[in-house]
Amino acid sequence: KMYYAVLKDMVLYLYKDEHSMKKSAGGMDNVNNVVRIHHSLATKANDYKKKRHVIRLQTADWAQYLFQTR
């Protein structure tokens, strides 16, 4: 799935599309689409070979998210 991601303070907000991102205007519409990044570690995912330009985000509770960038 592709999401738009917006980082505000220590929270990463994920939106389904650009329209929902603009509609929200910084509000927290759905707490299921929020990643708290306090004490998180972001690294380049060198071991991930399926796609290029992938970043691994590991949160304080050991959850891992993979993000592909341009």
- pLDDT reported for residue 28: 54
Q: What is the pLDDT of residue 16?
A: 83
Q: Which residue has the higher pLDDT, 55 or 26?
A: 55
* pLDDT 10s digits, 15-53: 888 777 767 665 555 667 899 999 999 999 999 999 999
Q: Is the pLDDT of residue 69 over 70?
A: yes
Nearest to 34 by CA among 5, 63, 68, 60: 5
**CB 56 within 8 Å of CB 48:** yes
Residue 17: per-residue pLDDT: 80
